[in-house]
C-alpha cells in the first residue's frame, strides 16, 4: 500500500535529490562538464559567512511568522466559529489571499509599498511612506506580514473547524462554575485545540522552508542580504552565480533542516496524542 | 501489509538511474540534443524574450524568414526575461539547448564558450564580411571571447543616458549640468524645493551599478573601467576608491529620491518619478525613452524630457564621449545542434536578422538598431532627436563599455551587485567593498 | 458503523452557518477581541484586493498618474481583452488538468501510504516514513535539472504529464505527514472490530479509514491544490509550447524585458483567481464541514 507513493516519490523526489547530493561533491557551472571535486563545494559552503546568515534569516522568518500567525489565526478562527451570517461572508473575503499566487502577491505589495506611488500616496498617510523594502529589518517584517496575509486565512479555517468541534457541554459546565470568557478560552478552547495547533504549526514551519517565489519576486533576498533565506541563497548560488556544487550542498542542508523540524514536530504530535488518550 | 524485502529490492534498482542522470548532466549530453528546443528536421529552434516591444519584432523576423524559407523553418519560443534565464540554463545544463540562443553576450557568453556549448563564428564572419560590415563595430566586443567571435550581434544599442525634466529645471531656474560639480550644486537646490534630484529604482541593483560605472569611466577612463573586471586589486586603486566614495557621498547628500531602495525599475516607478515631476533627473538605459513616450502622457511630446551623456567629472581622466550600456543583444548557435540546424541558423543571421524591415520596426519603437547606415530612417522618425542622439553616442564613443553585470562572469557579477546594494545602503565602506571584490576578481 | 471518532462528533457533518442553538459559544457574549481582530483583518485583506481589482481596469499610461486607491476615471476593459487574447481559456484548462491530475492521485497514494505506515510496523515502513519526512524540505529548485533529465528520458517533455508526475511526488511528504497524524488518532478498537467482522485491510482502508479521515483529506487536497495551481517552476522548465502553458506562466507574459505591464498582470490575476473563488464560495460548506468533522480533537 505504501508502494505507489514510495515509487513516485523515489522517481521524482529522491532520485533528483540524490542527483543534487552527488552534485554537492562536484564542481559544475551548470552549463559545461561536471568535475568531481570531493569536499571542495562543502568546504566552500560551510566556510561561507553567507550560510550562517541564511540559516539565521530562515529561522528568524520561520519563528516570527509562526509567532504572528498562530495567535492571529486562533483569534480569527474562534471569531469565525460564531454563528452570525456576516462572519461567513468575512470568511469568504479572508480566503481570497490564499488563492493568489505568490508572484502576484509580491507584485501587488511591491506596488503598494512604493514610497511615492503606493499606499502612502493613496491614503495620504505620510507614515506609510517608509523605505519598506530598502531597510533590512523592515523588509524582514514586510515578508513576515505578507506571508501572514497569505496564510492566516487557511489556518483560521482550520482553527474555526477545530473550535466547532469542542463540545458545548464543556462550556456550559464551565459557565456553571462561574468561569469567564477568558478563563474558558484558556482552560477549554486552547487545550482542546492542541492537536489542531500542532497540525497548523507543522504546515507553517515546514512550509516556511520553501518560501521562495514570494521573497524572490519581492526583494530577491535584499536589501543586500537581509531577506536571503536558504532557498534564495541556494538559487542565487546555483542559478545566478553558476555554482551548482555549493548550491547543491545548501540544498542538502535544507533537507536536513526540514527533516529535523519534521521529526521534532512529530514528537510533539505524539505527546499530544498520548495525553489525549489518557484524558479519554 | 508489511512489504517484503523482495519488493524493496525491486524499486531499489531504480536508484542507479541517478548515476546516469548525473552523467547526462555533463557535456556529453543525450544524442537527441536540440530536442529541448523542439527538433524541426532541417529547421532550427530559437528561444527569445517575450514582452513588448521586442517580442513582436523578433517574431516578425522569424515569420519573414519562414515564409522565405519554407523548407528550413525556424520554430521560435518566447519566455519572459527572468523565466528565460532559468529556462535556458536548465536546458543547456541538461544538453537540451535550442539551436539559436538569445543572450546578452559578455560573461554569460564566455561561460557557454568555456563549456563548449556555442559555435565559433569567426570564420563564418570572415566569409560573410558583408554581414559584419552592416553592424556597429562596437557591438562585436561583447560577442568576442579570446579573440574569437561566438555570437551574432543583434537588435539595438542601448547606452545609459542622463535624462532630466526640463520643467523642473525651469522651476528652480537652473541649467542642465555641464560637469559632475554642477550636479552636486543642483542637489541641494532641488531638495530645497521638495524635488528629488535623482530618481533611482534602487531595488533592482543594476540601476545603482550604472552610477558606479559612469564614475569609473569618467574618473579613470575606459582603461580603469575594464581593469576592475580582470585585474586583482584594481578595486582598491585610489581612483576606484574615490569613485566608491563619491557614490556614498551622493547618497548621503540625499541625491537620490527618498526610499530609493524600495523602488523597482521593472514596474517603471522610477521613470514615473521623472515624468510626474517628482524627480528632476534620472540615469537610465536608452530603452526608457520608449516607456516614457507610452506612459508619460504629454511629457515627451511637449518637449519636457531632456537628455545628455553623463557629464565629465572634475579631475577625471576619462573621455566624456565614452559611454556604457548594452552594445547590442546576441544570438549564438548551439554547438550541439545538427549541421543542418546550424546551416539554417546561419542563413537566418545572414538574411533575416536586422533586415531593413526589422530595422524599421525597432526605430518605430524609439530604439536604434545596431545597423550602420540607418541615418535617413532615423531622421524620418517622429523620435528623430532622441534617436540621432543615441546613434551619435554609439558611433562617436571611442569606448562603449558593456555593463559590468553582463560583462563579468556570473559568479563575479552576483558578488558585484550584492556589494553595490550594500554600498548604497551605506552598510559597507568603500574599502570593504574593494576588499570583497578583490576576492572574486582576477583569481 | 460509526463515522465518528468520539461521541461528541455526532453533529460533525452538519453544514455551518445554519442557526443552531445549544452548540456554539453563545452569541450573547460578544467576543470583542475576536471581533476587533476580525474587522481589522478584513481591512488588511481587502485593501490589496481592492487595489488589484481597480488597477486591473486602469490603462498602463494612467497607472502612475492618479491616486492608487481611487477607482479609475477612464475605466478600460483593454487589459482583460488582452489577457483573454493570450489564450487564457487554454491556459486555464491546462492548469485545471494539471491540478486535478496531480492532486487526486497524490492524495490517494498518500492516504494509502499513511494508512500502511500507521497500521503496519517494521524497519521498512519506518524508513519509508523517515524518507517522506526528509522529503518535506526538498527544494524544488535544487532538483530541477535532474527532474528535467528524467522527464526527457521518459519522453514526457512538453506534456502536461511532465508537470503532473513531479507535482505528485512533491505533494506526497506533507500529505503523508498530515494524514498519518490523523489516522493515528483513530481508536484501534475500530480497526479491530472491522477485522473481527472479517474485513480485509483493503476494505478497512476504504470503508473505515477513508471516511474517517475526511477532514485531513480535505486539508491536504486544498493545500496541495493551491500549491500546484500556482506552481511556476515545473511548468516553466518542463514544458515549452504555448499549448501546454499553465496560468502562472501566462502571468509572466505581461512582464517584459525591462518593464511590467502591471494593470495587465493584475487583470490576469483577477481572471485566474475568479474561478477558484467561485468554487470556494460554492463548495465552502462542504469544505468546512469536512474540516469540522474532526479537527477538534
What residue has cell string 497548523?
A200
For residue C12, is pLDDT > 50?
A: no
Average pLDDT over residues C244-267: 81
What average pLDDT does this structure show over B104-119?
93
φ and ψ at C98, to 5 degrees? -65, -45
Q: What are residue B103's DSSP bridge partners?
A: B330
Quick one: pLDDT at residue C27?
44
Where do the DSSP E strands lie in chain A? 26-27, 35-36
Q: Which residue from A10, A110, A115 is facing B11, i.e. has the nearest CB?
A: A10
- Pick the residue from chain A with its C-alpha nearest to B113: A32
- Chain C residues inside the 8 Å CB shell of A128: none
pLDDT of residue C18: 35
Q: Is the per-residue pLDDT at B372 higher than 70? A: yes
- A20-29, C40-49, C200-209: lowest mean pLDDT where? C200-209
Burial level of A86, CB count in 10 A (0-12/13-18/19+)?
exposed
pLDDT of residue B33: 36
pLDDT tens, B33-72? 334 444 445 789 999 988 778 889 999 999 999 999 999 9
Contact A93 C296 (CB under 8 A): no
Write the DSSP assignment of B264-282 as a string of letters: -TTTTHHHHHHHTTSEEEE
**Residue C295 pLDDT:** 55
pLDDT above 90 for C188: no
For the packed helices C262-292 and A102-112, what is the interaxial angle rounded to 10 degrees? 120
A chain contacts of residue B27, beta-carbon cutoff 8 Å: 32-33
Distance between CA atoms of C251 and C245, rounded to whole angstroms?
10
- Short-list C137, C138, C115, C134, CA closest to C125: C115
The C-alpha cell that represents A105 in the structure block: 502577491
State the number of CA atoms in the 13 A half-sphere of C266 facing the CB.
Answer: 26
Asked if the model's pLDDT at residue B340 lies above 50, the reply is yes
User: Which among C255, C267, C262 is positioned nearest to C79, based on CA atoms?
Assistant: C267
Q: Tell me the pLDDT tens digit for each residue of A218-248.
A: 888 878 889 999 999 998 888 888 888 999 9
Cα gap C177→A267, rounded to integer Å = 12
DSSP chain C: ----SSGGGTTTTPPTTS--SSSSSPTTS--HHHHHHHHHHHHHHHHHHHHHHHHTTS-TTTTTTS-TTSPPSS---HHHHHHHHTTHHHHHHHHHHHHHHHHHHHHHHHHHHHHHHHH--SHHHHHHHHHHHHHTT--HHHHHHHHHHHHHHTT-TTSHHHHHHHHHHHHHHHHHHHHHHHHTTS-HHHHHHHHHTT--HHHHIIIIIHHHTHHHHHHHHHHHHHHHHT--HHHHHH--SGGG--HHHHHGGGB-SS-B-HHHHHHHHHHHHHHHHHHHHHHHHHHHHHHHTTTT-
Contact A80 C135 (CB under 8 A): no
Q: What are the residues facing B307 on neighbouring strands?
A: B163
pLDDT of C34 strictly over 90 = no
pLDDT for C297 beyond 80: no
Phi/psi region, residue B34 (left: phi>0; alpha: psi -120 to 50; beta: rest), is left
Please give the mean pLDDT across all residues of chain B: 88
What is the predicted pLDDT for the residue at B20? 40
Q: Are strands B196-199 and B279-285 parallel, antiparallel or unpaired?
A: parallel
Exposed, middle or buried by CB within 10 Å (0-12, 13-18, 19+), for A265? buried
- C37-49: b (≥16 Cβ within 10 Å) or e: bbeebeeebeebb
Q: Residue A188 carries which DSSP code?
A: I
Q: How sure is the predictor about A160, in pLDDT bands with cuts at 50, 70 and 90?
A: confident
Of the candidates A233, A214, B78, the residue with the CA atom closest to the CA atom of residue C142:
A233
Interface residue A19 vs chain B (CB under 8 A): yes
- Report chain C residues whose CB lies below 8 A from the CB of B90: 144-145, 148, 237
In this complex, is the C-beta atom of B335 within 8 Å of any C-beta atom belonging to chain A? no
What percent of chain C has pLDDT above 70? 87
* Residue among C23, C67, C115, C139 with most chain A CBs within 10 A, to mutate: C139
What are the chain A neighbours of C47 within 8 Å (beta carbons)? 112, 119
CA of C118: how far to CAs of A97, C129, C184, C236, in Å? 35, 10, 6, 37
**Is C118 in CB contact (< 8 Å) with chain B?**
no
Closest by Cβ to A5, choosing from C25, C70, C109: C109
Chains near A, with 3+ CB pairs < 8 A? B, C
Amino acid at each position: 500500500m505504501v508502494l505507489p507513493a514510495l515509487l513516485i516519490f523515489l522517481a521524482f523526489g529522491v532520485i533528483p535529490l540524490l542527483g543534487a547530493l552527488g552534485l554537492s561533491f562536484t564542481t559544475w557551472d551548470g552549463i559545461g562538464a561536471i568535475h568531481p571535486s570531493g569536499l571542495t563545494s562543502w568546504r566552500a559552503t560551510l566556510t561561507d559567512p553567507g550560510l550562517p546568515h541564511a540559516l539565521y534569516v530562515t529561522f528568524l522568518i520561520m519563528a516570527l511568522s509562526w509567532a504572528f500567525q498562530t495567535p492571529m489565526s486562533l483569534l480569527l478562527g474562534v471569531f469565525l466559529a460564531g454563528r452570525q451570517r456576516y462572519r461567513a461572508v468575512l470568511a469568504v473575503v479572508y480566503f481570497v489571499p490564499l488563492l493568489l499566487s505568490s508572484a502576484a502577491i509580491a507584485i501587488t505589495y511591491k506596488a503598494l509599498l512604493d514610497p511615492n506611488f503606493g499606499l502612502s500616496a493613496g491614503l495620504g498617510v505620510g507614515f506609510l511612506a517608509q523605505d519598506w523594502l530598502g531597510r533590512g529589518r523592515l523588509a524582514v517584517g514586510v515578508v513576515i506580514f505578507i506571508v501572514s496575509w497569505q496564510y492566516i486565512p487557511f489556518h483560521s479555517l482550520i482553527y474555526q473547524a477545530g473550535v466547532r468541534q469542542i463540545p458545548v457541554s464543556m462550556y456550559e459546565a464551565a459557565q456553571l462554575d462561574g468561569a469567564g470568557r477568558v478563563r474558558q478560552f484558556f482552560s477549554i478552547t486552547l487545550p482542546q485545540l492542541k492537536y489542531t495547533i500542532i497540525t497548523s504549526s507543522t504546515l507553517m514551519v515546514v512550509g516556511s522552508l520553501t518560501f521562495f517565489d514570494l521573497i524572490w519576486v519581492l526583494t530577491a533576498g535584499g536589501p543586500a542580504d537581509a531577506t536571503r533565506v536558504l532557498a534564495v541563497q541556494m538559487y542565487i548560488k546555483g542559478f545566478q552565480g553558476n555554482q551548482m556544487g555549493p548550491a547543491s550542498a545548501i540544498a542538502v542542508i535544507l533537507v536536513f533542516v526540514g527533516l529535523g523540524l519534521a521529526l521534532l514536530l512529530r514528537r510533539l504530535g505524539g505527546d499530544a496524542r498520548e495525553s489525549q488518550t489518557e484524558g479519554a | 501489509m508489511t512489504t517484503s524485502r523482495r519488493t524493496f529490492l525491486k524499486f531499489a534498482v531504480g536508484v542507479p538511474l541517478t548515476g546516469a542522470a548525473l552523467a547526462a548532466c555533463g557535456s556529453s549530453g543525450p544524442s537527441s540534443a536540440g530536442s529541448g528546443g523542439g527538433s524541426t528536421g532541417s529547421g532550427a529552434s530559437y528561444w527569445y524574450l517575450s514582452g513588448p516591444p521586442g517580442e513582436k519584432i523578433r517574431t516578425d523576423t522569424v515569420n519573414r524568414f519562414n515564409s522565405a524559407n519554407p523548407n528550413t523553418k525556424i520554430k521560435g519560443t518566447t519566455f519572459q526575461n527572468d523565466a528565460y534565464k532559468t529556462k535556458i540554463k536548465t536546458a543547456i545544463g541538461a544538453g537540451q539547448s535550442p539551436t539559436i540562443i538569445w543572450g546578452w553576450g559578455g560573461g554569460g557568453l564566455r561561460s557557454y564558450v568555456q563549456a563548449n556549448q556555442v559555435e565559433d563564428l569567426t570564420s563564418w564572419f570572415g566569409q560573410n564580411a558583408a554581414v559584419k560590415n552592416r553592424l556597429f563595430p562596437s557591438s562585436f566586443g561583447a560577442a568576442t571571447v579570446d579573440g574569437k567571435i561566438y555570437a551574432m550581434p543583434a537588435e539595438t544599442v542601448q547606452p545609459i543616458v542622463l535624462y532630466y525634466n526640463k520643467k523642473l529645471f525651469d522651476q528652480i531656474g537652473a541649467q542642465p549640468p555641464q560637469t559632475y560639480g554642477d550636479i552636486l550644486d543642483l542637489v541641494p537646490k532641488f531638495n530645497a524645493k521638495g524635488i528629488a534630484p535623482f530618481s533611482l529604482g534602487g531595488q533592482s541593483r543594476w540601476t545603482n551599478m550604472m552610477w558606479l560605472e559612469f564614475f569609473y569611466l569618467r574618473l579613470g577612463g575606459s582603461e580603469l573601467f575594464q581593469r576592475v573586471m580582470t585585474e586583482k586589486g584594481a578595486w582598491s586603486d585610489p581612483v576606484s576608491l574615490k569613485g566608491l566614495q563619491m557614490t556614498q557621498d551622493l547618497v548621503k547628500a540625499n541625491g537620490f529620491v527618498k526610499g530609493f531602495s524600495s523602488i523597482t525599475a521593472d514596474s517603471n516607478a522610477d521613470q514615473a518619478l521623472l515624468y510626474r515631476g517628482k524627480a528632476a533627473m534620472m540615469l537610465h538605459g536608452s530603452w526608457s525613452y520608449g516607456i516614457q513616450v507610452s506612459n508619460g502622457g504629454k511629457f515627451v511630446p511637449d518637449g519636457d524630457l531632456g537628455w545628455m551623456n553623463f557629464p565629465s567629472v572634475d579631475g577625471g581622466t576619462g573621455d566624456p564621449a565614452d559611454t556604457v550600456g548594452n552594445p547590442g543583444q546576441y544570438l549564438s548557435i548551439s554547438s550541439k545542434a545538427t549541421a543542418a540546424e546550424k546551416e539554417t541558423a546561419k542563413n537566418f543571421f545572414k538574411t533575416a536578422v536586422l533586415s531593413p524591415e526589422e530595422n524599421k520596426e525597432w526605430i518605430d519603437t524609439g530604439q536604434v538598431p545596431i545597423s550602420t547606415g540607418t541615418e535617413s530612417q532615423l531622421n524620418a522618425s517622429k523620435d528623430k532627436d532622441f534617436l540621432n542622439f543615441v546613434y551619435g553616442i554609439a558611433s562617436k564613443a571611442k569606448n562603449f563599455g558593456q555593463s559590468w553585470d553582463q560583462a563579468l562572469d556570473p559568479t563575479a557579477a552576483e558578488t558585484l551587485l550584492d556589494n553595490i546594494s550594500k554600498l548604497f545602503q551605506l552598510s559597507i565602506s568603500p574599502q570593504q567593498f574593494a576588499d570583497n571584490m578583490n576576492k572574486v576578481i582576477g583569481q | 458503523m460509526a463515522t465518528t471518532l468520539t461521541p461528541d462528533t455526532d453533529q460533525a457533518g452538519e453544514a455551518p452557518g445554519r442557526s443552531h442553538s445549544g452548540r456554539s459559544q453563545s452569541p450573547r457574549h460578544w467576543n470583542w477581541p475576536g471581533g476587533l481582530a476580525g474587522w481589522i483583518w478584513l481591512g488588511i485583506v481587502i485593501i490589496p484586493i481592492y487595489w488589484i481589482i481597480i488597477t486591473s481596469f486602469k490603462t498602463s499610461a494612467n497607472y502612475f498618474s492618479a491616486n492608487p486607491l481611487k477607482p479609475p476615471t477612464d475605466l478600460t476593459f483593454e487589459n482583460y481583452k488582452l489577457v483573454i487574447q493570450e489564450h487564457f481559456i487554454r491556459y486555464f484548462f491546462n492548469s485545471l488538468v494539471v491540478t486535478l491530475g496531480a492532486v487526486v492521485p497524490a492524495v490517494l497514494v498518500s492516504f494509502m501510504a499513511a494508512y500502511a505506515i500507521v497500521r503496519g510496523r517494521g524497519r521498512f515502513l519506518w524508513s519509508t516514513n523517515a524518507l517522506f519526512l526528509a522529503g518535506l524540505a526538498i527544494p524544488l529548485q535544487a532538483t530541477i535539472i535532474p527532474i528535467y533529465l528524467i522527464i526527457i528520458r521518459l519522453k514526457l517533455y512538453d506534456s502536461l504529464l511532465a508537470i503532473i508526475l513531479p507535482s505528485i511526488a512533491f505533494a506526497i511528504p506533507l500529505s503523508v505527514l498530515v494524514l498519518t497524524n490523523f489516522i493515528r488518532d483513530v481508536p484501534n478498537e475500530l480497526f479491530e472490530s472491522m477485522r473481527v467482522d472479517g474485513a480485509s485491510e483493503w476494505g478497512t482502508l476504504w470503508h473505515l479509514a477513508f471516511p474517517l479521515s475526511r477532514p485531513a483529506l480535505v486539508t491536504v487536497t486544498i493545500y496541495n491544490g493551491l500549491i500546484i495551481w500556482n506552481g511556476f517552476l515545473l511548468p516553466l522548465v518542463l514544458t515549452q509550447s504555448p499549448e501546454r502553458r499553465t496560468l502562472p506562466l501566462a502571468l509572466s507574459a505581461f512582464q517584459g524585458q525591462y518593464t511590467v505591464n502591471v494593470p495587465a498582470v493584475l487583470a490576469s490575476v483577477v481572471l485566474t483567481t475568479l474561478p477558484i473563488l467561485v468554487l470556494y464560495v460554492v463548495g465552502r460548506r462542504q469544505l468546512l464541514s469536512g474540516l469540522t468533522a474532526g479537527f477538534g480533537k
